[in-house]
Structure 1
Amino acid sequence: MSLRMPLHVHAHVSVYMPLRPTTTLRLPRQFSTKARIGVQHSIAPAIPSRRRSLTSKTSRPHPPPPFSTVSTCPSPTCGCADTPAMPDGLEIDRENPLNGVMAGYAEHVVVCTGKDDWMSKIEDENSGDNLAADLKELFGRGGKYTDPFHHISVINSSFPSSVPPRKEIQSTSVYLLPSFKYVPFLPRVSFDSVKALAKGFLLPEKLHPAHAGLSPVHRDRLTRKEAFQGLLPGVQDVKDILVLICGHGGRDMRCGAMGPVLRDEFEDKLERQGFNVASEAVQIGSLDGNLEIEGSSNDKVARVGLISHIGGHKFAGNVIIYIPPGHTTAGGEKHPLAGYGIWYGRVEPKHVEGIVGETVMGGRVVQDKFRGGIDAHRRILRLAFSTTTRTTSPSARCLRQYSTASQSQSHSRPVKKSRKIPIFITTAILGGTIYYFSSPSKPTLLNSETFIPYTITSREAISPTSFIFTISPHTPNPSLPYLTPSTSSWRYPLWSVEFKQPQVQIARHYTPLPPQSSEDPADGSLRFYVRAIGGGEMSTYLSRLGVGHDVWLRGPHVGFDVTARLGAMDNVVFLAGGTGVVPAMQVAKAVLEKNPDAQVNLLWAVRKREELQRVSSSPVRRPSWWQFWVTNSSEPVELHSQLQDPSPIAKQLRDMKTTYGQRLRIQVAIDEEQTQFREADLQNAVSGAQDRRLLANRSLTGSGCRLHDSALLESTSEFETPAGSDDCKCGHGAGKNLFMVSGPDGFIAHYAGPKRWLGGQQVQGPVGGVAAQLQRRYPKLADDWLVLKL
């Protein structure tokens, strides 16, 4: 149970232990039954279980506060970033109190992932193969070590993990707070290291008295065993200031927008105060336990990272500052908040300088941003307010609030009621008139700033988990931002829109299917190919919606200008996994319609044949599956224009094949039939394009060119403005062939290397995977081809 005290004039700080699950308040008998019930409902969530005097007198003073406070952040004295705009309909809650709005916990396990954002449920990352999932299996609901009096909170962070001594072994690092321990190496080769972490560091040293009735065996299982600590090498004490900022855009766009901006701001303001702000992975030079974390000696070191959901997204930005136990002030004295974790909410860039100055440097808590905290003894901190300037007892105040809410039981005198009502009516009418004439109407046309309602008008099932649905705008408008006005054709070769999931306040990009020959793009309808993924918040949400339901869109968001990058070259090889075939279809249509000499080789990997053909359960029809396919072997097969019983998505591919003929080649690999695209298949696709047009005398390095420099491309996002006439520095007619990959993260990483996070956005990163192997084997490919990851 959390405590929320009414705000008074003079504030003092008290420390509260986590409360029992229920708290009962006894009231004097002079209250009626109704009044007693009213007071219980009003007070029980807000006041500790102790008696208060009902007479009008000053309450007893609180114990001396464990730390100093300031009422608010001082105004910034230097430049700071602007507060980012929040997504439409996702405003920051600036009304409800912050104090006490945090979940109690005994330990934060901060997992170092090296990523800036994650799926809505972090345990679903990498198909469930991750440390957060392992720990939640042990400490989550129904877990083996679950203890309601010793809650373990597991969060992901953007901090990179330390490199293990054997680099070929995948390992994960964690911070344990407020234990202020750093565990550098948790090998992902067995569950033993996870159990050692749990038994050696996370279980309580002493059980809560409520567990006294458990059997000795059960009590022993829930108690820490120091012997397990020796199984994890290199564990170190943390001596760096840690600033954790919620940036979990995969769960709520408010934190996704605010987190990266606050990270930059904290790094800047900490450096101004003389801190060495470390961003690299923690270096562990020895495993004998004698060396400390690099940079953690007498130097002032701070680390600022983004973290996953901690609750209270509506109070973004959310910040936790952990100050290590041995930290000292500039004068060499022990820091007043040493060993503490301080939670703040509603933090904006303009507040960062003040928080660094007051909390990190001065050891003072900023009251109006304070959500709560934890000390070195794992006691949860709240602000408790005295009533030294008001004489009304809390009980009487709560009683009046209850009576006001229950108007039928109120007997207050209607003082000057005849005046108040006309004034109120006049004010309401005047205010409504002003609003009518001054308030701008909400936009009804698709745009990149606000979410616009569309209605689902049709839905076609492809498989039990995938479907195509069509949506239409509430307000049709032929002047759509993604259309060329003169022809009503698509303006961009590659673009997407965002869908909003209103229940968990997240948004995801989806790429619309190119219009079919029978469709008129000017009517504003859009079609999407979606596959519901287990644990995927957005795809699962969309899969539940039927015809007639509304969805909310924002866009268009323009992707790579593929035609500008292709330039005078003719060849595109596009490797697509699952629904990643949709951007491939966009690119194929744009390239083939613009350049009559262009050729596109589309390699599509699917899980099951039903993504291609409507599969009958009747065994007599099984041979017809192979009637129009080239081979019965385990090699990928070619999609011909005569494909029978195509699924809705395959039908559109078949129609495109009919339209473009030999210029569009489509190969399909079906996972359940043990076919996949191997390095040889990619080599054949690329070398076939090379043979078609000899490029030996047209090698283009693209050095310094935004469109064609592979090195610059590594730090480029897939979302960009359309290329201008002066963007290419390579000269007229220059270009490069394109090798493009689209699909799930693991699919992209396998064939082209993973994307990276840089400056709060996802960028291309270096070429890796199968594509890098081909480049090493055939160096000329790196000069003639650009690798683009979607």
Structure 2
Amino acid sequence: MLARLNSFVSTPKDSPPPPSADTVDSIEDPLASVASSLASALPTVGRPPLPIPSQLEDLKSQLPIACSSCDSCEDDEEEGEFPELPSKFDMDLETEMLGDIIKPMNRLTIIATSKTDWQHEIAETPASLAFHLSQVEKRKAVRPTPSGTSVEPPIEIPGLYDTQEMSKLAVLASSIEVDEEEGKTCALLFPDFKYISAIPISKEGAHALYDQNLDPSVSALGHPASSSDEQLRSWILPYRAVVLLCSHKTRDKKCGIAAPLLESVLTSTLTLHGFDVDTTGSSLHHLPSGEEISSLSSEQEIQNLLHNASGTGGGGGNDKEVGIFKISHLSGHKYSGVMIICFPSGAILYYGRVRPRDCVAIVEKTILKGEVLAEHLRGGGNLRREKGKSLLDW
């Protein structure tokens, strides 16, 4: 871990400044500078607890678990160097977090809206893509969850699932800026690690998105449209990882407070490690036409692009950029700050009880090394790995 992170006093470019450390109830506009947060920092909440011993042993047998960040010998040296959550920030440290309020899914769709807060239920926003998708999904028959065929099924760990065995679609709004013509938007798709552009915000656009990319029976290559005019364009995402921070203040004020603080420390730490950080989606607007998924002919070609994005392919891909975007509510706000980290390998990792100071270990152990911090683990999809392999590996 870096001994000193002096750059936290500066606000990252293109990122909104984080909130001051006033009480949760009194904050309406969380836009104070990081320097102000440092100057007026109040005592932080207690350390996140580890899973119970039996669960921790199960985790270590199936997941690439890092040593506990709570055991870091540098924590005391860095006391006071980070923006702090407000003293009345109510983080649940008592409930067993692993597996709690986890919704297993087949695919996670992140829709660009250029916003950081939304109405309580995004699917109830009239004439939005989330609304149209919710109507489409109600009309589509979904496949049943297949029964397991393994002779020796893996140890059941709460909250861990395989996306291929699920049928549910999760749809979230995001802060990604819409760089499309009026009446269209774009979306990210996980675990496919895919970007889809120019989606019409209409019933027809939602049907095209679902049929070509979201239906559980469709592979990462997508399903061709009946005509070229209806074909949606898609690419593999150009990031080493994508971090999704809940900022849905309308659902819970804590998320509106925590998200910009976490973004600030994540961005500063990644920058110190030589990474670029995309917080607006600008890197998605000029992707090479030769890598458009419709031009690919096999799953292997997609795998090659995913390996390049992760830095494991040796193909000259951009493995020095991370996308950090704010998203609407998924679940588990009582564990705020909460985040989801998605990797090109297909891993979808849910973290909770994240304080700004925890983001250093999240960058250095999880994003850069693919290791899981057990004290922050809520669950996730496609996380199990053979011994010796990380979440960066397949």
The TM tier, using the shorter chain, reads 0.5 to 0.7
Partners of 2:253 and 2:356 in 1: CA distance: 17
Q: Deviations over 1:631-678 (max 9, x none)?
A: xxxxxxxxxxxxxxxxxxxxxxxxxxxxxxxxxxxxxxxxxxxxxxxx
Look up the match of 2:213. 201
Q: If each structure's strand is expressed as a fraction of its own residues, which one has the higher value?
A: 1
Partners of 1:285 and 1:237 in 2: CA distance: 9
Contact 2:339 2:352 in 1 (8 A): yes
Aligned to 2:243, what secondary structure does the other structure show?
A: strand
Look up the match of 2:124. 124
Partners of 1:147 and 1:155 in 2: CA distance: 22
1:160 deviates by: 1.3
Q: Which amino acid aligns with 1:356?
A: V
Q: Which amino acid aligns with 2:176?
A: F
Look up the match of 2:327. 307
1:732-751 aligned at under 5 Å gives the runs none
1:311 deviates by: 0.7
Look up the match of 2:340. 320
1:701-720 aligned at under 5 Å gives the runs none
Percent of aligned pairs sharing the same letter: 26
In the alignment of these two chains, the number of paired residues is: 284
Contact 1:265 1:352 in 2 (8 A): yes
Contact 2:92 2:334 in 1 (8 A): yes
1:237 deviates by: 0.7
Partners of 1:84 and 1:10 in 2: CA distance: 29
Look up the match of 1:191. 203
Contact 1:80 1:349 in 2 (8 A): no
1:288 deviates by: 5.8
Partners of 1:237 and 1:313 in 2: CA distance: 30
1:354 deviates by: 0.8
1:285 deviates by: 5.0
Partners of 2:187 and 2:93 in 1: CA distance: 33
What TM-score do you get using the length of structure 1 for normalisation?
0.33
Look up the match of 2:358. 351
Partners of 1:286 and 1:370 in 2: CA distance: 36
Look up the match of 1:283. 285
Contact 2:185 2:197 in 1 (8 A): yes
Contact 1:186 1:193 in 2 (8 A): yes
Look up the match of 2:140. 144
1:201 deviates by: 1.2
Q: Which amino acid aligns with 1:114?
A: S
1:7 deviates by: 2.1
Q: Deviations over 1:189-220 (max 9, x none)?
A: x432211211121112289xxxxxxxxxxxxx
Partners of 1:85 and 1:170 in 2: CA distance: 40
1:318 deviates by: 0.4
Aligned to 1:120, what secondary structure does the other structure show?
A: coil
Partners of 1:147 and 1:80 in 2: CA distance: 50
1:299 deviates by: 4.1
1:318-467 aligned at under 5 Å gives the runs 318-325=338-345, 339-375=346-382
Cα 1:225–1:279, aligned 2, differ >3 Å: closer, same or farther? closer
Look up the match of 1:22. none
Q: Which amino acid aligns with 2:261?
A: V
State the structure with more CA Rg.
1
1:352 deviates by: 0.4
Partners of 1:9 and 1:205 in 2: CA distance: 36
- Which is bigger in relative contact order (C-alpha 8 A, separation at least 6)? 2
Aligned to 1:114, what secondary structure does the other structure show?
A: coil
Aligned to 1:254, what secondary structure does the other structure show?
A: helix
Aligned to 2:109, what secondary structure does the other structure show?
A: strand
Contact 1:159 1:305 in 2 (8 A): yes
Partners of 2:272 and 2:256 in 1: CA distance: 26
Partners of 1:10 and 1:152 in 2: CA distance: 28
1:258 deviates by: 0.9
Aligned to 2:57, what secondary structure does the other structure show?
A: strand
The alignment's C-alpha RMSD in Å is 3.2
Cα 1:287–1:196, aligned 2, differ >3 Å: closer, same or farther? farther
Look up the match of 1:242. 242
Q: Which amino acid aligns with 2:348?
A: G
Look up the match of 2:225. 228
Contact 2:188 2:194 in 1 (8 A): yes
Partners of 1:193 and 1:13 in 2: CA distance: 43
